[in-house]
A and B are shown apart, each in its own frame.
Chain A
């Protein structure tokens, strides 16, 4: 037997102008199981809510239907009022007789009848509602930050400064990311290292941050507030506690001709190396693929010279397991490889380089100590061509998007070149100049007007070598498409920013979605830009799409705030409108047959496998189980379940069928 209360709201005249509210209250008051019904001018007002609360107590109501506006508006209001009167809030439902009835239909009997129908549906539904408890999930107040570039650094520092623990994982031997490779940054031309390295040091010294370099995330299990992560710490062949970072080993290593990744192949490094002088941690690793000892079985010069005996040739990879409540993805981006540009001779001619290589040439700590010298013969190039949109906005290369940062860094490169080579002539081939950003357009203008860079609107068709010069063939579309040929000494391609190699695998490991370009996908392009579809995992920086430094930092701080908000409570509280696998006392009898179709369609990895074992430990049956912490309540699994073993609170099969029957049988 139900004791349901029906409360019909006039909403001033918004409802009562077309719906006869008194009649709706009277008719629905006669329905079976309805104990009390009334109508009131403003149900959401204070007196209206008091009326509701008192009726619940006085008539001992075990269900409430408020017929008023959209539940998207006031469902929380009335559920809260019910809870205050001692009624489980999930025993309160709303009939939408304003947006879906009084406002869209004229004043006549049909409109009032429709309102009665809508109320009746909810009365019948409430009878099937269950008292539910909000789901509480404990939170581990530690964040995992994957990636140690500027985005990861910013996010980690922000979270750590909020008083929470941070574990940072960086794939390379040092943190710093692409920003540490840059010479100077647009639009202010401040030195990248000067603004970045203090933050890198802060990461190493922060009491709340644990740094794992030369490490990768191997697996992620669990859910929001309770992730369990396995991290593979690759062997550095070094006892980090003993090493003082004196660098003697790196100078004595006989293997010296390994292309330096940090210098983008423009310089060399030994087999035991620190990626760059300001590296954090400033301790070397042995590159086992190129180390003479690992190849030939003898050498050990580094071990002999090491004053603290820190070298460990037999050190193995270590897999550690950590727990975290939230994860920030800050794995950054990459640039297109040379094999994408056969027409530009990239990879074939030494003097066709990419933007990052130019950064190293222009950097005071780079292979040329900041002098612009071409890689082939070390001459200063007198004529230099910059090609913007190398790959970007080119469906033929599979990259339809704009890489966003190239217009600005190309302008910066041209400016830096002119500042260093006063008698040089820079050309820029471009499609459009996209300089949206504070002081960006002014910066580009300075490059053109003050530094005299020749901007040519058009694309470069081909580059080839002739008599020691690079012949750049293109067209000037502002001059009616006339062909242009420039004899250049060096060419710099603004290659497209692309997702990191392995981004797809990492996304699958972490269980987040990615777009067709393999960039990680945000939960909503506008309103949830740093969240992912997986609760508790956030995005920072260029792993999401090409971003410049200010944008990456802003996104990282945004992600950090989301993490801090998540950590502001000891427990997460969630609406319990989630899926549930029906099971009897002995789970062997559950209707679930363990087909796991539900698992394959769940967008949130909320379906787990539960093994039912006999006393002897034998597995009798494998059932699906819903992880309440992960389930978002979409119900896709319910629709697909072949045996109807899975159902969803609030929209259960029983409730839905009841609603349909109530609606159609008056």
Chain B
């Protein structure tokens, strides 16, 4: 597994974590290039279909990160994200999806160092877990074989 370079997608909110990741850059803190960011207005916008879509397309790990509780630009979006995560985590565990591959975190616009830590820790963890080959097996056999809402 030494040469395994995992594909990790980070879904982040525009106001805190995206800005925090900008600060990581401005501060020239290095982190692993495995993580690539997709920008959202708010973590409240991120539903679980988006996470499933990432696994379906071969992601080995996922980071979801937004404003700290009470700091949401839209006041409550991150609370909805947190609740959704608590509820769906159980469902995902039940269906056999490896929730260890999903990292949920709060990174503020001032936490450039924290973002680098989140990325590096997640990369390290996913490298240990290895490529996520199991997802499509689970998906095909159980839930998502006929999922067609996205391919319009």
User: Are B116 and A104 touching (Cβ within 8 A)?
Assistant: yes
User: Are B9 and A664 touching (Cβ within 8 A)?
Assistant: yes
Whether A635 sits at the interface, judged by CB under 8 Å, is yes
* Residues of A with C-beta under 8 A to B54: 660, 664
Whether A659 sits at the interface, judged by CB under 8 Å, is yes
User: Are B45 and A660 touching (Cβ within 8 A)?
Assistant: no
Instruction: Identify B38's interface contact among A639, A656, A665, CB under 8 A.
Output: A656
* Residues of B with C-beta under 8 A to A111: 33
User: Are B36 and A660 touching (Cβ within 8 A)?
Assistant: no
User: Are B76 and A657 touching (Cβ within 8 A)?
Assistant: no
Given the known interface contacts A70-B22, A656-B38, the answer about A634 and B45 at a Cβ–Cβ threshold of 8 Å is yes
Beta-carbon contacts of B33-59 to A below 8 Å, as 1s and 0s?
A: 100111111101111011001100111
User: Are B150 and A657 touching (Cβ within 8 A)?
Assistant: yes
User: Are B41 and A653 touching (Cβ within 8 A)?
Assistant: no
Instruction: Identify B75's interface contact among A101, A603, A659, A663, CB under 8 A.
Output: A603
User: Are A639 and B21 touching (Cβ within 8 A)?
Assistant: no
Chain B residue nearest in CB terms to A73: B22
- Of A27-35, A92-100, A182-190, A243-251, the one touching chain B: A92-100
Given the known interface contacts A636-B77, A644-B149, the answer about A664 and B58 at a Cβ–Cβ threshold of 8 Å is yes
Instruction: Identify A639's interface contact among B18, B22, B46, B151, CB under 8 A.
Output: B46
Chain A residue nearest in CB terms to B58: A664
Instruction: Identify A577's interface contact among B41, B74, B151, CB under 8 A.
Output: B41
Given the known interface contacts A639-B80, A665-B58, the answer about A104 and B31 at a Cβ–Cβ threshold of 8 Å is yes
Q: How far is the CB of A109 from chain B (nearest CB, A)?
A: 10
- Of A114-122, A204-212, A433-441, the one touching chain B: A114-122
* Residues of B with C-beta under 8 A to A533: 75
* Residues of A with C-beta under 8 A to B44: 601, 634-636, 639
User: Are B18 and A72 touching (Cβ within 8 A)?
Assistant: yes
Report the Cα distance A635→B58, complex, angstroms.
26
Beta-carbon contacts of A235-260 to B below 8 Å, as 1s and 0s?
A: 00000000000000000000000000
Q: How far is the CB of A96 from chain B (nearest CB, A)?
A: 7
Beta-carbon contacts of B72-101 to A below 8 Å, as 1s and 0s?
A: 011111001000100000000000000000
User: Are A99 and B26 touching (Cβ within 8 A)?
Assistant: yes
* Residues of B with C-beta under 8 A to A633: 41
Report the Cα distance A123→B138, complex, angstroms.
31
Report the Cα distance A260→B73, complex, angstroms.
46
Given the known interface contacts A639-B46, A660-B9, the answer about A110 and B41 at a Cβ–Cβ threshold of 8 Å is no
Beta-carbon contacts of A640-666 to B below 8 Å, as 1s and 0s?
A: 100010001011011011011101110
User: Are B29 and A651 touching (Cβ within 8 A)?
Assistant: no
Q: How far is the CB of A295 from chain B (nearest CB, A)?
A: 48
Whether A513 sits at the interface, judged by CB under 8 Å, is yes
Q: Which of A105, A106, A639, A656 has the most chain B CB atoms inside 10 A of its CB?
A: A639
* Residues of B with C-beta under 8 A to A401: none
User: Are A659 and B38 touching (Cβ within 8 A)?
Assistant: yes
Whether A638 sits at the interface, judged by CB under 8 Å, is yes
* Residues of A with C-beta under 8 A to B47: 638-640
Whether A174 sits at the interface, judged by CB under 8 Å, is no
Query: How many Cβ-Cβ contacts under 8 Å join chain A to chain B?
Result: 132
Instruction: Identify A660's interface contact among B19, B24, B30, B50, CB under 8 A.
Output: B50
Whether B69 sits at the interface, judged by CB under 8 Å, is no
Report the Cα distance A472→B72, complex, angstroms.
48
User: Are B38 and A634 touching (Cβ within 8 A)?
Assistant: no
User: Are B41 and A635 touching (Cβ within 8 A)?
Assistant: yes
* Residues of B with C-beta under 8 A to A104: 24-25, 28-31, 33, 116
Chain B residue nearest in CB terms to A118: B36
Report the Cα distance A235→B76, complex, angstroms.
41
Whether A215 sits at the interface, judged by CB under 8 Å, is no
Whether B152 sits at the interface, judged by CB under 8 Å, is yes
Q: How far is the CB of A553 from chain B (nearest CB, A)?
A: 28
Report the Cα distance A601→B47, complex, angstroms.
14
* Residues of B with C-beta under 8 A to A640: 47, 80
Given the known interface contacts A664-B7, A664-B54, A665-B58, the answer about A601 and B80 at a Cβ–Cβ threshold of 8 Å is yes
Instruction: Identify A657's interface contact among B18, B37, B53, B77, CB under 8 A.
Output: B53
Report the Cα distance A651→B11, complex, angstroms.
12
Instruction: Identify A635's interface contact among B22, B37, B45, B59, CB under 8 A.
Output: B45
Chain B contact residues, CB within 8 Å of chain A:
5, 7, 9, 14, 18-19, 21-22, 24-26, 28-31, 33, 36-42, 44-47, 49-50, 53-54, 57-59, 73-77, 80, 84, 116, 149-152
16 more contacts with CB within 8 A, not counting A104-B24, A636-B77, A660-B9, are A70-B25, A72-B22, A99-B25, A100-B36, A103-B25, A103-B26, A105-B33, A117-B36, A601-B80, A634-B42, A635-B44, A635-B77, A639-B46, A639-B84, A651-B40, A657-B151
What 3 A-B pairs come out closest when comparing CB atoms? A99-B25, A635-B45, A636-B44
